[in-house]
Amino acid sequence: MEKTYPPVVLITGSARRIGAEIARIFHCNNFDVALHYNSSSNEVRALEKEFNTVRPNSAKIFQAQLTNTSAVKEMGQKVLSWKSQLNVLINNASSFYPTPLVDANEEQWDNLIGSNLKGPYFLCQTVAPALQKSRGSIITVADIYARSPLKGYSIYCIAKAGNAMLTKSLAKELAPNVRVNGIAPGVILWPNTDEQMSDETKQQVIDKVPLKRTGNPLDIANTAYFLATSASYITGQIISVDGGSSLYS
């Protein structure tokens, strides 16, 4: 009898927050998990240890700065060498901070476009042959602000709008063997730094959500798992997981 191997998922930005929750969902459903990180080494090593304690050699960490195309491509090749296959790529990593037009600069442009659009694009290019071979899927984590921009965050919104078009473009280009879909989270987690949003601003944001609450990283993780494993006739779509916020955009 031919030996079968667990499917493999690569998740960018998997050390913390939504990325770590996605990794846990896939791992507990018997995926081997390639954990990408940029600088959160302590968190990602703890996650790798957690997974490998459950199933030895079921997780491995890979470091790359997504704004560095050479590093992105090298990381993709290392992932493919690890298990010699890839079934799912989840482009989750992202940078997010305000860039008011009056003082936005080129460094911010390069960082936000690089992490949200350029890096994911060239990672897709690197692993696409493996995904075609496995008839796998790509999932991008976009944002509801790709469709209806957030004031003062123009570069981020531009990058996420490009990310949404990346999803649709690659869905056409990689069909029929690879499905490509996106998830547009609404208010799931607040920014890492408190100074980005005051409590008053947070409440104003929640007041605009029909369900009147924030979501949970598990909402995004479950949607990613559904798109990867149970959505065989869905491609080129971006699913809003936003408590209904998109009803008003």
Cα 185–Cα 188–Cα 190 angle in degrees, nearest 5: 120
Kindly report the pTM of this predicted structure. Answer: 0.94
Kindly write down the DSSP assignment for every residue of 41-63, as one continuous string.
HHHHHHHHHHHHHHSTTSEEEEE
For the beta sheet containing 59-63, the strands, ordered from the edge strand earlier in sequence to the opposite edge, are 59-63, 32-37, 8-11, 88-91, 137-141, 179-185, 238-241
Active-site residue flag, 156: yes
Question: Could you tell me what percent of the chain has a pLDDT over 90?
Answer: 77
State the first-to-last Cα distance of the chain, in angstroms, to the nearest integer. 54
Please list the residues that pair with 32 across neighbouring strands: 8
| C-alpha count within 13 angstroms, C-beta hemisphere, residue 90 | 33
* Mean pLDDT value across the chain: 93
Residue 1 is predicted with a pLDDT of 53
Of 110, 15, 134, the residue nearest 64 (C-alpha):
15
- The count of other CB atoms within 10 Å of the CB of residue 233 is 5
Residue 109 is predicted with a pLDDT of 97
Cα distance between residue 127 and residue 124, in whole Å: 5
pLDDT tens, residue by residue, 111-132: 999 999 999 999 999 999 999 9
pLDDT band (50, 70, 90) for residue 190: confident
For residue 197, pLDDT beyond 80: no
For residue 110, pLDDT beyond 80: yes
pLDDT tens, residue by residue, 162-187: 999 999 999 999 999 999 999 999 88
Give me the catalytic one of 37, 153, 156, 225: 156
